[in-house]
Structure 1
Amino acid sequence: MATLDARRGRSFPGSHVFLLVLTVALLAPVAWAVLSSFKPAGDIIRDPLGFDPATFTLANFRGMFQDVPIGSGFVNTGVVLVAKGAITLFFAPLAAYAFAKYRFRGQHLIFGAVLLTLMLPTIVLIIPLLLEMKELGWVNTYQALVLPGSVDAFAIFWMRQVIAAVPDELLDAARVDGCGEFGIFWRVVVPAIRPGLAGLGVLTIMNIYNDVVWPVVAASSSRMATLQVVLTTLAQNISGNRVGADYATVTGELLAAASVALLPLLILFILLQKHFINGILAGSVKG
């Protein structure tokens, strides 16, 4: 037994080397983009892999903030994040609670239909959703950016797996004490599933922050453009706002914008990585 435990705890240098190589391979493009954003635009094209600290400049960032409405993109993305994230984190656990802890006619059929939507490509839903938004008069509004997909099948499935692990005895004890059904959910279930909620919150924020397909279709005006939409049209904005902007200038400002857009997610992951890992483990529990 001692030998088996020793084998389980033994460190394998080969696996560490592989993980180190994989980490470097994943982070190298990000590090190159960030460092290159502080280089003169001409040097990015002339010497893409080199970096001379003596040539450090903020010219790419100054030009980017002048040519690109990245500020309004951050504001629109922030509004969508708060509104859509709140809807997801409130209603998805409620639906998951019903599927995990209640028994009703057609339960498995309804849950199967919910999971079936995971197999539908996003592109299939775009035209029907856009026609619906047009009929409601919501094109180029926050409603169109927030409501479609705010309670998706993945969030419900994730939270159902987490809630299914909550002991039924806790719920029965709360009922005996006279707690109502919503009170049981709010006072008993929610505190017990906080790690899963945190993990879902991080994933939801990342998905909303990086979403570009639906915002491009639903909010085509520059006034409602989210950050990712602004980034996709960045080259056109730079060329249109600066006469004679060459390839090097566009590349430098594009790297600067990408570095600015990367910063919020990087800070978020550093601050919440413990909750994210705990949430992943909580979401892996079988119900």
Structure 2
Amino acid sequence: MTTLGVRQRKPRPLLGSHAFLLVLTVALLAPVVWAILSSFKPAGEIIRNPLGFDPATFTLANFRGMFQDVPIGSGFLNTGIVLVAKGAITMFCAPLAAYAFAKYRFAGRNLIFGAVLLTLMLPTIVLVIPLLLEMKELGWVNTYQALILPGSVDAFAIFWMRQVIAAVPDELLDAARVDGCGEFGIFWRVVVPAIRPGLAGLGVLTIMNIYNDFVWPVVAASSSRMATLQVVLSTLAQNISGNRVGADYATVTGELLAAASIALVPLLILFIVLQKHFINGILAGSVKG
């Protein structure tokens, strides 16, 4: 005997929630859209009509002036070098440390992991002076070593990956050991493929943190030659005023918006391309085995 299935009624969307999310999205994106559009306006028009945009006045003058007055190219280069090197260290060492905390039993494991978590409570500003003195003793001030090594394996990355790796079944690891696989081989061939969503989420967060980092680079790299992008952006007004005689407020504002728009593009592309992986990584990191 067969029964006719009853078509389930789909839940109606919550209009109020959608409206709230729409308003929130507009509020968050409005300053970004305004900055990008204003960077293509004549400098004087930004001051006279800050909220309007006339396509007939479209110009690249702010970008041309900014490239002449500001060493933004060297800022991108230094940030790229730090991003590749520091990101590689984080993505390799943090999962290894997390694997040890998640899957090995050894004396003092919980105590050591607790000490690692305690470092999350320390404000960054508290660590700046001790780290700077250490860099001075090593002769690393104004070098890539100072920009890359401190904080390359932070407590949050270890905690994140421990939560992800803890969900990997121990039976998989035991089966690999029975097959004669070494410990690092187990990590590389069994654990890493199983935690790819978590690694992707960590990768996006790592890139964003390194790209946006300002406090440590401005202290460790005081020379303009080693300045990262965020340090360059923080000194734009001084550079523009110093390199262009008679630069007025409108000119400085236009070039500031042009530089900020260029700096924003890589992060927007990154998030759009890796949005799915980032969301999956967030969900993977929220699971505890």
Q: TM-score, normalised by structure 2?
A: 0.96
Residue-by-residue CA offset, 1:21-70 (whole Å, 9 max, x unaligned): 00000000000000000000000001000000000000000000000000
Percent identity between the two aligned chains: 91
Q: Give the alignment's Cα RMSD to 1 decimal.
A: 2.7
Counterpart residue number, 2:41: 39
Rounded Cα–Cα distance in structure 1 between residues aligned with 2:177 and 2:111: 28
Structure 1 regions of 5+ residues with no counterpart?
none
- Shift of the 54–192 alpha-carbon distance from structure 1 to 2, 3 Å rule, reads same
- Shift of the 186–29 alpha-carbon distance from structure 1 to 2, 3 Å rule, reads same
Structure 2 regions of 5+ residues with no counterpart?
none
Residue-by-residue CA offset, 1:159-217 (whole Å, 9 max, x unaligned): 00000000000000000000000000001000100100000000000000000000000
Rounded Cα–Cα distance in structure 1 between residues aligned with 2:5 and 2:230: 49
Q: CA deviation at 1:286?
A: 1.2
- Shift of the 7–123 alpha-carbon distance from structure 1 to 2, 3 Å rule, reads farther
Rounded Cα–Cα distance in structure 2 between residues aligned with 1:228 and 1:41: 23
Residue-by-residue CA offset, 1:66-112 (whole Å, 9 max, x unaligned): 00000000000000000000000000000000000000000000000
Range moving further from structure 2, 171-180 or 7-16: 7-16
- Shift of the 204–106 alpha-carbon distance from structure 1 to 2, 3 Å rule, reads same
- Shift of the 19–8 alpha-carbon distance from structure 1 to 2, 3 Å rule, reads farther
- Shift of the 277–4 alpha-carbon distance from structure 1 to 2, 3 Å rule, reads farther
Rounded Cα–Cα distance in structure 2 between residues aligned with 1:12 and 1:240: 60
Residue-by-residue CA offset, 1:129-181 (whole Å, 9 max, x unaligned): 00000000000000000000000000000000000000000000000000000
Rounded Cα–Cα distance in structure 2 between residues aligned with 1:261 and 1:210: 10
Q: TM-score, normalised by structure 1?
A: 0.96
Rounded Cα–Cα distance in structure 2 between residues aligned with 1:5 and 1:117: 57
Q: CA deviation at 1:230?
A: 0.2
Q: CA deviation at 1:11?
A: 5.3
Rounded Cα–Cα distance in structure 2 between residues aligned with 1:5 and 1:145: 64
- Shift of the 98–4 alpha-carbon distance from structure 1 to 2, 3 Å rule, reads farther
Rounded Cα–Cα distance in structure 2 between residues aligned with 1:2 and 1:204: 56
Counterpart residue number, 2:192: 190
